[in-house]
Structure 1
C-alpha cells in the first residue's frame, strides 16, 4: 500500500521517469559522496553556523532600530514608533539549507509602506551601517537589477536587499509566500521578494528535502571546480542549479543523492534546449507583473537555457546564459555524465567528478581584461561593475563575429601580487565555432572597443583613476600569476610523461619525423591548424578537433551510450530503469507539455 501511495504522488508537470529505490550499492555510493563533500569543505562546522545565526540576529536588531528612527523622523505618533517593525529573512543557499563555509548570507529586509528604498534604505540605513563597529567594505548598488547593499559584518559577507510592503506595521509572522504581499509593490520590490518566495516553493515541490540538499551541495561543488558556477558571467548560479536539481528530484522521487547526481547529468545532456525547465505551471495572475512567456515577450524567445522560477511572477532565472557559456556548460555536462556512468559501473570514483577544470590549458587564445583604481574602495565598486558587465563582452564578441567566435569567461578574478597599485584581472577564453573555415580572419577590435567605452560611460560612480584595458593574449603569453603551484606541477608532470612517451616512440620507430600524434591536441578541443584572429594585438593559431553535436544528434548519441550503461547496471543489480528510451520519451513529454511557451 505504501508503494502505491508513493507512485500516486506527482510533484512536477509530468509523471516521474522512475520510482526505483536505491540499492545497497547506491547507499554505499551516497556515503562515499558525502565523505568527498566533507573532505572538500562543503559543510560548515557548528561554530561557524552559530556565528552566522548571531550575525543575522544582530542585523535584525539594527534594522528594527532603524525603522523606529525613520518612523519618528517622519513625524508619526509615539504609538506608531513603538509598534514600528522590520523583518530580516534569508534567501538563496542559506534559506535552502545548503550554505557552506565562507559563503555569503543573502538577506532581505522587509519594512513598512512609508519606509522607502531610495532615501531611507540607501542613505539612512547606509549611514547607520557605515558607523558601526564590525561593518566593513560597505558597497551600495542602488541601480542594480535587484538593488542591494553589500558589506562584511564581523568578517561575514552580507548581501542585503530591501522590500517595502503594503503594511503600516509589519507583523513578525508575515507570510511571504502569500501573493497579497505583492499588492502595490514596484518591480524592484517584487524581484527582491522573489528570492525568498522561490526558495520556499522549491522546498515544497521536491519529494525528499534532504536528498535534494545533498545533491545540490554536490552540484554546486562540481560547478565551482569545473569553472561553470557564476550567474553574473553567464553560467549557473545557486538558484539555477537548485531548480535543475529539483526537477531531477521530481523525475526520480525515490532516488538517493548518488542516483540523483548521475541522473542530473543524464537528463541535462539530453535536454532539448531551449525547452524550459519548470517545476510547476506558469500562472499569469491579475496583479499585472510580467511573467516569462515567449509568445508575448519577444526578448524571452532569445533565451538559450530557460530555467523558470516556480513562484509568481515566474521568470527565467538563467537569462544571462549566452551561446558561448551554454556550449561550455554542455561540454562539462557530457564529461560529468561519462564519469557518472563509470562510477555506476564501478570503473571510477567520485574524486574524478571533482577534478578542477584547467581553464588556462583549454584555449589557444584569451582576452585579458585589466582594471585599476586609485584605492581599495574605488576598486571594489569598479570591479563589481566590470564583472557585472563581462557578459556583455561575450555577447558583443558573438554578435560582431556573427557567431563564429565563442567567448567564454573565467568566473574568477586574478591579482598580480608584484604590482603595487589597486587592480585585478579577468580572462575570457576564445574559441572558433565548429564549421568556421581554417585560416579565416576574425576581427573583434570593434567589440572590445565598444565594451570599454560602455563600461566607462555607463558607470555613474566613475572617478578619475578607474581604468580598463582589454588585450588579446596567446596561451604561451599568459602571465605567471594565473597558474597556482599545483597547476605548474601538473603541467610539468604532464610534460615529463609526454616526453617519456615521445622517447619511447622514437626508440620503437613509431614516430614519423618526430611529430606528435593527433592525441596531442589540447583537451579544450583545440588543434594546431592555423587560423587568424585579429584583436588588440597579434595573430595566433586556433582550430577545432571536433564540433559539438546539435541537441537532436546529442540525444541520439547519448541514447546509444545510455542504453549500454543502463543495461549493464540492470544486469549488476545497480538499477531497474528501462533504459534511455524511457528518458527520451520523458524529455519529449516535457517538450509537449511546455510547447505553448516556445
Structure 2
C-alpha cells in the first residue's frame, strides 16, 4: 500500500509516467462514446435513488425497533437499537448505469434474527408506498430480498452483528466486527467491506471509475459479465481494473483501458490477482497461497478479495468460460491497439456479442411454473446450477467447448388446455399460444398461464478426424441427467408445480426472442433443378425430414423432464471459438443422445444428424 511501501498494491508500478497527448485524446473520445452508449444515469434518477435510500434507512430503523419491542426491550432500548444501511457493488463504486439495482446491506443488532428479516422486514417492504415487487430468497448462498421501490431495483442483504445496538457512525472496516458471526452474515458483510477496500486501494478514484465503466460496458456487450454462469461478476471486474490502476498510477482512463486488455490477455494464470498483501493478524488472516491451501488450486483465474476473509471472486470460472474470456481479451486488445493509432473507434469495442450466430447446436434449459413469484425462485435456482452442467459437458467426447449465455429469456404463455401447458413446459410454443393474450383465457375453464425461463448453452463440436468413417456420437445423456437430478434436489422442489427441460436444438430452431429486431439471419433457400424422372421428394440434395422426439402422454400438471429437440439433416459450418478451427461436415451424421429418465418421467431420445448430403 502507498503509505507503507510508497506505492499501491503488492508490487511496484510498471510505469509512473504521465499519459501521453494521444492517450489524453483517446480518453476524451472514450468518455464521449460512453455518454453516447448511455452508461450514465440522469440527474432525476440519481435524486430518486437518494430519496429511496433515505426511506429505506428509516424503514430499517423501524424494523429493528419493531423486533426489539417484540423481544421485550423497553421503549428507550428499542429506539436506541438503531440499524443502518450500507450500499456496495456498482452503486457504491460509482459506476452504476440507468436502471441498475442498488446492493444494500442492512446491519442489525444481535437480538434481530435472519428469520425476522424475511418475516418482518419483507412484510414491511410490501407495505411501502411505491413498491411493485418483493421476493425473498432466504436459502440463497447469500440470502437476499429483491424489491423495486419507485422504479429503483434493490437487493437487500442482512448482517447481524454481535452488538446490542447499531450506532449511526458505525464503520465496517474493523475486522473484529466479524467475531462470533455466522457464515451467512460474514458473506453479507463481505460485499460492503470489499467495495470500500477497492476504493481505498486505487491511486485515483475517478480514473478507476471511468475505466471500470468502460470495461463493464464491454463485458456486458460481449456477454461475459456473469459470475453465476462462470464468467466474471462485478467485483472481479472491479478488482482487475483496480490492479491495472495500481500498476499505472498516473495514467488516465484511455491508457488504463488499453493496458487492461493487453495485460489481461497476457496474464499468467493461475497467478492470483491481489490488490494488497493480506498480513497475519489477530484473526489469523493469511496470504492466499495455493501451495498452502491445496483446495485453491481448482481456481482457474484466481482474483482474491482484499478484505478479510480473503475469498476467490472467480471460483465459478470453468475451462470453457476461461477460453471464451481469453479470446475476448485478445479481440479487445486488437481493437484498442487500433484505437490508439487512429484506425478504429471506441464503438467497435462495444459491438454486441454474436452468441446466437456462433454455433450450430445449442442446449436449451427450460425452467417453468404456473406462478410468477415461484418462477423467480425456481428460475434462479436452475440458473445457479447451469455452471455445473457446463462443467459436466466439458468432459463429453467430441465437444470442444460449452458456452453458457449470461442470462435467461423469460416468457409468459396463456394456455387453454393441459396439453398446451405440457407443450409450453417442453419448450414447444405454437404460434397460436405465442399470439394469445391474457384476456383471451379469462373465464375459460381449464385455462392457465405458464411462466418459463429459458437458458442457452452453445456447443462447439470438434472437427471430424481425417480418415474417420461412419457417424459420430455426441452423448449428452449423463451430464443432462445428472443436472436435472441435481436441480430437483432443491429442498423446495415440487414435481407438480415446477418443470425442468434440457434439450438440444439447431441454430435454425432458435426463437425470435433471442435476436434483436432485424438481427436474425435470413434462412438460405436453395433452388433445386428437377431432372428427368426425378421428383423433389426423392432428390438426394433435399434435406431429410425432421425427426420428432417421442414423448409420453402429458399428465395433469407440469412435470420435470429432460428432452432433446429434433434436428434437420443439413450441412453445418461451425465458426471458430477460442482457437477452435471452423469445420464443414458433409455426408456425415452426429447422433445426439438425450437422457433416459427414470420413474416413468417424460422421455425423449432423439438422434439428429449434424450433417447430410
Q: TM-score, normalised by structure 1?
A: 0.80
Structure 2: gaps (5+ residues)? 413-432, 435-448, 526-572, 595-605
Q: Indicate whether 1:426 and 2:458 are aligned.
A: no
Give the Cα separation in 2 of the matches to 1:428 and 1:82: 52
Q: 2:401 aligns with which of 389, 396, 406?
A: 406
Q: Indicate whether 1:227 and 2:223 are aligned.
A: yes
Task: Give 1:476's aligned residue.
Answer: 508
Please say which of residues 434-443 and 338-347 is displaced more in the overlay.
434-443
Does the 8 Å CA contact 2:389/2:483 hold for their aligned counterparts? Answer: yes
Q: Indicate whether 1:467 and 2:499 are aligned.
A: yes
Does the 8 Å CA contact 2:463/2:583 hold for their aligned counterparts? Answer: no
Q: 1:358 aligns with which of 354, 358, 361?
A: 354
Cα deviation, 1:463-499, whole Å, max 9, x if unaligned, reads 62210111011222222332221413xx45x989xxx
Give the Cα separation in 1 of the matches to 2:411 and 2:79: 53
Task: Give 2:592's aligned residue.
Answer: 534
Task: Give 1:36's aligned residue.
Answer: 33
Does the 8 Å CA contact 1:219/1:261 hold for their aligned counterparts? Answer: yes
Pairwise CA distance, 1:370: 1.4
Give the Cα separation in 2 of the matches to 1:533 and 1:15: 55
Does the 8 Å CA contact 1:369/1:427 hold for their aligned counterparts? Answer: yes
Give the Cα separation in 1 of the matches to 2:463 and 2:267: 21
Give the Cα separation in 1 of the matches to 2:519 and 2:205: 37
Task: Give 2:53's aligned residue.
Answer: 56
Give the Cα separation in 2 of the matches to 1:528 and 1:477: 20
Give the Cα separation in 2 of the matches to 1:478 and 1:435: 25
Structure 1: gaps (5+ residues)? 497-519, 543-598
Compared with structure 1, are the counterparts of its residues 405 and 115 closer, same or farther at alpha carbon in structure 2 (3 Å cutoff)?
Answer: same
Give the Cα separation in 2 of the matches to 1:533 and 1:316: 39
Task: Give 1:556's aligned residue.
Answer: none
Identify the structure with the greater helix proportion: 1
Give the Cα separation in 2 of the matches to 1:44 and 1:285: 41
Give the Cα separation in 2 of the matches to 1:134 and 1:109: 20
Give the Cα separation in 2 of the matches to 1:414 and 1:443: 26
Does the 8 Å CA contact 1:226/1:356 hold for their aligned counterparts? Answer: yes
Task: Give 1:74's aligned residue.
Answer: 71
Q: TM-score, normalised by structure 2?
A: 0.79
The alignment yields a C-alpha RMSD, in angstroms, of 2.6
Task: Give 2:94's aligned residue.
Answer: 97
Does the 8 Å CA contact 2:411/2:451 hold for their aligned counterparts? Answer: no
Please say which of residues 430-439 and 456-465 is displaced more in the overlay.
430-439
Pairwise CA distance, 1:433: 6.2
Q: 1:14 aligns with which of 8, 11, 23?
A: 11
Compared with structure 1, are the counterparts of its residues 296 and 464 closer, same or farther at alpha carbon in structure 2 (3 Å cutoff)?
Answer: farther
Pairwise CA distance, 1:168: 0.7
Query: Comparing both chains, which one has the higher relative contact order based on Cα–Cα distances under 8 Å and sequence gaps of 6 or more?
Result: 1
Does the 8 Å CA contact 2:23/2:254 hold for their aligned counterparts? Answer: yes
Does the 8 Å CA contact 1:385/1:459 hold for their aligned counterparts? Answer: no
Please say which of residues 430-439 and 130-139 is displaced more in the overlay.
430-439
Pairwise CA distance, 1:404: 4.8
1:125-140 mapped onto 2 (5 Å cutoff): 125-140=121-136
Does the 8 Å CA contact 1:291/1:315 hold for their aligned counterparts? Answer: no
Task: Give 2:141's aligned residue.
Answer: 145
Q: How many residues align?
A: 510
Does the 8 Å CA contact 2:87/2:192 hold for their aligned counterparts? Answer: yes
Give the Cα separation in 2 of the matches to 1:405 and 1:40: 35
Task: Give 2:205's aligned residue.
Answer: 209
